[in-house]
């Protein structure tokens, strides 16, 4: 996985511009000028990143597109779909990831006697810090400043021992940032997450894994899925505390109005991920069709 952090910075700037000027439907020339590139180079850069043209990408981050997805879910009784399972590549995310909660002792003791490896990698959405215990990946966050990211990790496990080192657990997770990860899944192999969270939080995070690639949900829908329909606010808090960026797809939860809303690692990044995933699924469906 070879990514250029400067490329994502330009992509993020362009997505911010698209969102701010969506009603005017900015032209390729306008987007290229905003990115300080020629139209040819901007189109090539964006298509290399997203798999689709900037014009096609716009539809995947539009309010109308989000509203249509949410309306389809109501017609398809999405809550039932979550319980019974969905077919196709979009559900491999859920089937491929196993969450294990930390023991009460590990949770209570702030990571004492835990050895945590961590590394820094570039992704299509900027740099991440990824950390793992012997049992699984425990932390993934996007960052702009590595020092602040390391500080955040260590404050989550103040008594743990840390070593800057990549391991096989981290490498297994990194494949999810590749464009065609769902075409290269190894049957029978699972990505393991080792998470510090309350029983309620773990339940919410597990439910997030059931939102298919290229799809979205709402806080209210997640509350219904976990059997607590009045807990939308608590669900929102649990989603905001998700320690595993991208892999546990809290970015797929938006407001019931179709507005994308906030994100722990930035609203523009959330739009970028949702658009990228929508484009990936669209391209995959076209190939299969």
Active site residues: 250
237-242's contacts with Cβ under 8 Å and 24+ in sequence apart are: 238/197, 238/200, 238/201, 238/204, 238/205, 239/204, 239/208, 240/264, 241/197, 241/201, 242/205, 242/208
Q: Is 241 exposed, middle or buried (0-12, 13-18, 19+ CB in 10 A)?
A: middle
Distance CA 213, CA 92 (A): 9
Q: Is 128 exposed, middle or buried (0-12, 13-18, 19+ CB in 10 A)?
A: buried
Q: Are 205 and 252 in contact (CB under 8 A)?
A: no
């Amino acid at each position: 996985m070879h990514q250029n952090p400067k490329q994502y910075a330009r992509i993020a700037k362009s997505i911010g511009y698209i969102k701010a000027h969506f009603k005017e439907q900015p032209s390729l020339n306008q987007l290229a000028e905003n990115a300080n590139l020629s139209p040819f180079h901007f189109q090539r850069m964006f298509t290399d990143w997203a798999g689709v043209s900037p014009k096609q990408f716009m539809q995947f981050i539009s309010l109308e597109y989000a509203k249509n997805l949410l309306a389809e879910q109501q017609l398809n009784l999405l809550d039932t779909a979550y319980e019974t399972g969905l077919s196709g590549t979009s559900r491999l995310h859920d089937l491929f990831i196993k969450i294990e909660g930390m023991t009460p002792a590990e949770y209570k003791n702030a990571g004492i006697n835990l050895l945590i490896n961590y590394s820094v990698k570039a992704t299509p959405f900027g740099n991440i810090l990824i950390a793992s215990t012997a049992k699984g990946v425990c932390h993934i966050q996007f960052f702009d400043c590595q020092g602040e990211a390391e500080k955040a990790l260590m404050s989550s496990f103040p008594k743990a021992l840390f070593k800057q080192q990549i391991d096989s657990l981290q490498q297994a997770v990194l494949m999810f940032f590749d464009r065609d990860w769902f075409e290269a899944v190894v049957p029978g192999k699972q990505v393991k997450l080792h998470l510090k969270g309350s029983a309620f939080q773990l339940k919410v995070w597990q439910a997030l894994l059931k939102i298919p690639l290229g799809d979205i949900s709402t806080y209210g829908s997640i509350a219904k899925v976990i059997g607590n329909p009045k807990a939308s606010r608590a669900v929102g808090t649990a989603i905001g505390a998700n320690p595993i960026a991208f892999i546990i797809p809290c970015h797929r939860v938006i407001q019931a109005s179709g507005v994308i809303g906030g994100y722990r690692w930035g609203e523009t990044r959330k739009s970028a991920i949702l658009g990228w995933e929508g484009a990936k699924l669209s391209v995959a469906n076209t190939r299969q069709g």
